[in-house]
Chains A and B, each alone.
Chain A
Amino acid sequence: MNKPSSSSSSPAAPWLALAWNHPVHAWVSVPVRLVVGVTFLIAAWPKLMDPEGFAWSIAMYQMMTPKYVHLLAVILPMVELVTAITFIAGFRVRGAAVVMCGMLVMFIVALLYAFIHELEMTSCGCFTPAGAKALSEHRETVGTGLLWRDVWMLFACGYVWLFDTGRWGVDGWLRSRKRSTKDA
């Protein structure tokens, strides 16, 4: 692989350049963005509405000091929401993909931690905040199905980061608008 340079692109093997810049990526990335973006939207909303319940979900992983759990419970759902909207809309789509990759890596690490330590919890807290009252309900250890779901989404977001130029989205519209202004 070539070294990063100050120019916007660097020479690559013809087959690699062709594969990397193939127009099919613009088409493939649209359904990928929709599926992952909507998943994040659905996940963000209940947590945004019940930050205290989500704080309990975070606390159940026992990975961070309780002092900062509220801060994370307040900020993380909004990051999910904003990123999901920009991801679906195709605005700064590669940046949104990087944020999603970061969050998914964090989720995977947390789930792995819970899996390895056999932590018992009412739910992973991915889509519904656990809440304090849920502690009295049935608990079970985290299954590997959740891990595979996040790994799949990590690959999807990585694909968007690497290959989506944002042609079908706000980025593409802004570019074409800028180009037409320049041409005029």
Chain B
Amino acid sequence: MSDNETTENHAAPHKAGIPWRELVVAWRDAGLLVAVAAVAALAFNALRPAGLPLLRYAPFDLLGPCPELADEIPRLAPEKLKIGDPNVVVVDVRLPWDHLEGRLPGSWFMPMYETAPLDPAVVARLKAQKPGTWIVLVGTAGTATAERALTALSGQGLRGLFVLEGGLEAWRKLGRPVDSTTVPVLVRESGNPAARLYVDARDDAAFADGHRDGAVHLPFDDLLPPEPEILDRLRQVQDRELVVYAGEPVPDRPGGHRPVHPAYGVAAELVARGFPRVSILAQPYVAPSSASDPPASPEVTPSGDGTPVSSGVTHE
């Protein structure tokens, strides 16, 4: 810069002219600044762990998601899926009772309900996977559950999504391994009642009419996931066994019945979400008004307030 000129300008503004040279030199300085910044930016990008590739060969999906199913659903044949591949995450989008009855080994649980968005915690875990990971969604053959889940996940910016062709049924037909979980049915109650926490799976009206002392109300609903607040409350007492009961007797093999038994539905929700000690009470809840009715099982006797008194515990 012309330092002398600037000094003169301050001293005698009326004697100085327009500083053309300084104005032009500013363009040279501008070029230098941009060059320095560009070098710094490239170095910063190269050194940072999540640096961007400088050239991009994939287009930007600017149209965003559509509420209807995507036109082209990428599908993966079950023969090509390798369980245990570190670059593949298998996500079961079926409802919890289906998940417990049979699932691909190591699959994640992310149920796709009819009227609820996907579990944001699982979506966040999927987003945290390293780029290039394949996300294979497993649904039920003949339904569009997995396709809907793929469209929803795609709309949240996830890539590498596939639907397992033919769902779990196609996987089974290949003779590939399938995991399953059984929820124990408590035929008789015994031991310390304080070690148990009852979960009432009946609807709001039935719960309002009467329920076991201290029971947590988690009504069965196959269209919506459980309230997160209730799940948080149950997580705080995981040292206690969660015993789910309903207003109707539990069938011998509750997992195989449709429609789903309310107590089994709620218990399946809890087991699929990782609650370690969950069981179903075989006996239906008897409201205090009908407490005089004899209990169905001779081992369970109602107390004065209608609460069954335990005399032994048997897991089916």
Contact = CB atoms under 8 A, between A and B. Distances in A.
A88 B217 CA distance: 61
B30 to A, nearest CB: 4
Nearest to A133: B157
Contacts of B45: 51, 74
A98 B17 contact: no
Contact of A136 (B4, B13, B26, B155): B155
Interface in B13-35: 13-30, 32-34
Interface string A4-26: 11111111101011101111001
B1 A171 contact: yes
> Size band of the A side of the interface?
35 or more
Given A21-B13, A92-B29, A98-B30, A74 B18 contact: no
Contacts of B19: 8-9, 20-21, 165
B73 interface: no
Interface stretch (A60-68, A110-118, A148-156): A60-68
Q: Is the interface of A mostly helix, strand, loop or mixed?
A: helix
Nearest to B46: A74
Q: Which of B53, B55, B60 has the most chain A CB atoms closer than 10 A to its own CB?
A: B60
Given A17-B14, A67-B56, A75 B42 contact: yes
A82 B18 contact: no
A69 B60 contact: yes
B128 interface: no
A132 interface: yes
B157 A22 contact: no
A21 B20 CA distance: 12
A60 B63 CA distance: 9
A147 interface: no
Interface in A6-64: 6-12, 14, 16-18, 20-23, 26, 48, 51-52, 55-56, 59-60, 62
A26 B17 CA distance: 16
Nearest to B48: A51
> Size band of the B side of the interface?
35 or more
B11 to A, nearest CB: 10
Given A56-B60, A71-B54, A175 B17 contact: no
A75 B20 contact: no
Contacts of A171: 1
B37 interface: yes
A170 to B, nearest CB: 12
Given A81-B37, A95-B27, A98-B29, A9 B157 contact: no
B61 interface: yes
B29 A95 contact: yes
Given A66-B58, A68-B55, A2 B18 contact: yes
9 contacts: A52-B52, A68-B56, A69-B56, A71-B54, A71-B55, A73-B52, A166-B1, A175-B7, A178-B3
Given A83-B37, A136-B157, 5 more contacts: A51-B52, A66-B56, A98-B27, A131-B157, A133-B156
